[in-house]
Amino acid sequence: MCNDCMTPTDSLVAPTSARSNGGHDNPQPIIISTVVFLISFCGYGPAIDVASFRSMWLNGPDTPPNTRTMQNTFDYCSQGKAIMNSSTQHIFDVPLQCTGKVPGTSTPYNYAQLDTICYTYSLHNMMLVAEDYVQKTLGIDISSIKQRIAVLPVDLSGYCDFGGMAGLGCTGTRCYSWINGLFAGNLYLYLHEMGHNLGLYHSRIPGRDYGDETCTMGNGRTCYNAPNMWRLGWVSPLPGGDLNDTTLPVGQPMIFYLPGQNENPHSYLRINPTWATTGSQTYSRLKAPIPAFFISHRYKEVPFDNLSPANSHIAVHTFSGTQDPQSYQNVTLEAFLFVKEEYRAPMPFNLVVRFVTYKSGGNATIIICRADGEEEGGGSSCSDGLDNDCDGLVDFADPDCAYVAPKPPSPRLPPSPRRSPPRPPASSPSQLQSPPSSPSQPQPPPSSPSQPQPPASPPDSPLPPSPPPLLPSPPGTPLHREPPFPPPPPSPRPPPFPRPPPRPPAFPRSPPRSPPPSLTPPTMTPSR
């Protein structure tokens, strides 16, 4: 459930700023045009005056680029893809009549009834009354501008149980946001509600709807996170960093050097774990069948990206949304890694992310690997040349394989006899030659030359010679399938050595923060 956003009931049309460029290079900048109403009525004054709001919202002629204004914040967080300036922002002081009728209708309103003033229908009607005031009383045509923001009087804060509220996506003609006057000076609340107008949903941690402190769509005083940057088309994956089952095979770790998310228009990894699909999932233009993983490098960059702690860390997010403007899906922060920590996604994803090192203000070195289990599984996995469990150790270098017998060598053919046997007759080259004998004359055995042999007659089951000479096969003749001697019984195998205790992993795994990560969408827990 989204407590601070509303899904319009009529057909949605994508706002220009939410249209996807598919991650292409050099997308066209988008222009953010906004009308801001500073509302007052029934003796309740505006939460902020026009001059103060303008200085917070827009740059002046001499405003440095590192001054925290909404204009600079959008420019910094979008890396120049989102543009707002004094010509696109229209700010009005709007004193409303305490009672009257909603323009174009016979519906009365009474703003003295504070117990109903923050109901959804009342807030929508307030936008119509404010627009009518600007159009007719001030004589300014604002009908072509979609996005409207109403800042409510501070006196209503006890009646409005939200910090801000917004329409999710943008309708064909309007998209609205309302700001509780108590937070009129909080730029990140505006950035959050305007994000809803752009089609972004909440960024969460498992069990907490607003729990992601790396994104203003969660609980951060920051820029948008990597999945939302991808969703808007403002920042793209690193070259070679948009991976799937073909480009990320099992047991073959890949090293990447990630710049800070806000330092390069190609700055993060996107991993689509297509190996986890079973064929039973359904794909739609609004939701992917399985979540994609986004790996980004974040650190504190004042005054716009106010992450805590300030040092470099690796954020691991999952997102099931698409780049369709109407794809309204939560982003989930799965892990928040510091140097030497790793994250292991559960089955069937088996993605391993290891944070190796970083240079302050520069790149972070990470290792990405796709495992096929928590440990080497024995058998062929201990002799296939792969790091199957993605712990940095291959085959018998991994203690998991210490109790696994090495693969036996192929059986060796018996040696050739030292004495050359008689040459086979030329008339039958395909038959093996038997030892010469004369069946009509008895042949005494070597041990008893004086005793005659019985006449030679082939018995039903002749015993093998003891021992007959081995004859090489003539060229082109296959070897016998049976060995010349029955194989000796196998020697008794000594009992295996006890399996060594498990070793510590190459890097300590990140302890769970808050509830353990889960990729299944839990029930949202409202926190505002």
Whether 134 shows a pLDDT value over 50: the answer reads yes
Please state the pTM of the whole predicted model: 0.74
Question: In the 3-class helix/strand/coil scheme, how is 399-426 assigned residue by residue?
Answer: HHHCCCCCCCCCCCCCCCCCCCCCCCCC
Determine the Cα–Cα distance for residues 236 and 295; give it in Å rounded to an integer.
12
Report the percentage of the chain scoring pLDDT > 70: 71
For residues 332-347, average pLDDT = 97
Mean of per-residue pLDDT scores for the chain: 81
Instruction: State the pLDDT confidence band at 278, using cuts at 50, 70 and 90.
Output: confident
pLDDT of residue 439 exceeding 50: no
Q: Examine the pLDDT at 455 and tell me if it is beyond 90.
A: no
On the question of pLDDT at 131 being above 80, the answer is yes
The pLDDT value recorded for residue 442 is: 45
How much is the pLDDT for 435? 41
522 burial level (CB within 10 Å; 0-12, 13-18, 19+): middle
- What pLDDT, in 10s, does the model give residues 137-185? 999 999 999 999 999 999 999 999 999 999 999 867 899 999 999 999 9
Average pLDDT over residues 333-343: 97
pLDDT tens digit sequence for 42-58: 999 999 999 999 999 99
DSSP string, 311-336: S-EEEEEEE---SSTT----EEEEEE
Dist CA 401 CA 110 (whole Å): 77
Q: With 60 as the cut, is the pLDDT of residue 363 above it?
A: yes
Domains and CATH numbers, the chain: 1-199 (3.40.390), 231-408+504-528 (no CATH)
What does the pLDDT look like over 373-422, one tens digit per residue?
A: 888 876 688 889 999 999 999 988 988 888 776 666 566 666 655 555 55
Most trustworthy range by pLDDT among 335-349, 442-456, 460-474? 335-349
What phi and psi, each to the nearest 5 degrees, are found at residue 366?
A: -130, 160
Distance in angstroms (rounded) separating the CA atoms of residues 391 and 389: 6
CB count within 10 Å of CB 341 equals: 18
Which uninterrupted H or E stretch holds 124? helix 120-132
